[in-house]
């Protein structure tokens, strides 16, 4: 299978290396120091005591690669609109597009029949650029649960987890979602197709919407947040708000805050992606993860008082640091 991963950071590099090792024709679209490093020395993945090196094609010009069977977008959410415009040459009539992006995806309300059907998430897709650039019928939704970090350009450390969930935006199981899940399963991932991928998105949001912005504000790892009784209580309250919003949208993940926190506790001392971005002086995904949630809450009539407060504070901190996109 011809596969291009757009974005060779922590998650993109992880996916690219594993698919390359499974025998697929993998290329990456990258830029700057990451592009130079991959061209010079390859893409390196550390997992436990193992080191995998992938000598693959890397470019900053997607048109050089031609039409692909599978295109994975693994850039940060704020970068996606610009990247989509550049990557159109990769996508043909039979190409499957998998966005491996944090937060609420731009397509979330585009193929649904609920009360908010057709809602454009301006916080994620300003002006509808992504919606116009990526055909909805090409998309397979994806929820990425592994934790990875980029040690340096082109060098990735896999911290924990291998679970990937794929599903049709319109819902239901499909042969192509199951086929994509099998591609990743055969590459060593705990990959599954799910009949309700939105439910899985909400499951991940349950943790991301509290641990990410709170860690940005206090500078702590997830174990430190959980072990502090006051922050722990705040995270529980935020999760309860996110669950209530999900219920208003017809989503009821079979998990409660205590169970979700227990999952995070097992991971140990983890730096969230927002904390890594702040420390690396990179733009943060505050709008995709919290801004979009607040916008949906406005439409659904959900108060979300604690989530709105944390959003306002985290957004202001990112703005002061010059790391708020837009």
Among all residues, which ones are annotated catalytic? 204
* DSSP state at residue 291: I
Q: How many CB atoms lie within 10 A of CB 176?
A: 14
Structure tokens at 94: 């039979």
Rounded CA-CA distance 35/28 in Å is 9
In order, the DSSP letters of 38-69 are: HHHH-EEEEETTEEEEE--EEES-GGGT---S
Tell the residue number behind the tokens 């916080």, with chain if given.
123
Residue 70: name the closest of 184, 152, 164 by CA: 184
Given the DSSP bridges, would you call strands 2-6 and 70-73 parallel, antiparallel or unpaired?
parallel
Structure tokens at 230: 């006051």
């Amino acid at each position: 299978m011809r596969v291009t991963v757009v974005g060779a950071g922590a998650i993109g590099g992880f996916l690219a290396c594993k698919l390359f090792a499974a025998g697929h024709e993998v290329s990456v679209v990258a830029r700057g120091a990451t592009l130079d490093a991959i061209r010079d020395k390859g893409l390196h993945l550390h997992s436990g005591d193992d080191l995998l090196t992938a000598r693959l094609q890397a470019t900053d010009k997607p048109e050089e690669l031609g039409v692909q069977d599978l295109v994975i977008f693994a850039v940060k959410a704020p970068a996606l609109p610009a990247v989509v415009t550049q990557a159109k040459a990769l996508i043909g009539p039979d190409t499957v597009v998998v966005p491996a992006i944090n937060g609420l995806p731009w397509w979330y309300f585009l193929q649904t029949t609920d009360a908010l059907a057709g809602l454009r998430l301006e916080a994620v897709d300003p002006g509808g650029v992504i919606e116009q650039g990526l055909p909805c019928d090409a998309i397979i939704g994806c929820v990425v649960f592994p934790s990875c970090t980029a040690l340096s350009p082109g060098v990735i450390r896999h911290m924990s987890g291998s679970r990937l969930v794929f599903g049709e935006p319109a819902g239901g199981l499909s042969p192509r979602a199951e086929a994509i899940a099998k591609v990743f399963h055969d590459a060593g991932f705990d990959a599954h197709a799910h009949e309700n991928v939105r439910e899985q998105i909400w499951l991940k949001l349950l943790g991301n919407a509290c641990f990410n912005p709170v860690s940005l504000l206090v500078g702590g790892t997830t174990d430190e947040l959980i072990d502090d009784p006051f922050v722990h209580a705040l995270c529980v309250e935020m999760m309860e708000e996110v669950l209530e919003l999900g219920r208003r949208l017809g989503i009821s993940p079979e998990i409660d805050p205590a169970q979700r926190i227990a999952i995070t506790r097992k991971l140990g001392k983890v730096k969230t992606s927002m904390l890594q971005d702040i420390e690396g002086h990179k733009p943060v995904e505050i709008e995709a993860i919290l801004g979009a949630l607040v916008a949906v809450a406005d439409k659904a009539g959900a108060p979300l008082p604690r989530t709105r407060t944390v959003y306002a504070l985290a957004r202001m901190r990112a703005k002061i640091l010059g790391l708020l996109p837009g």
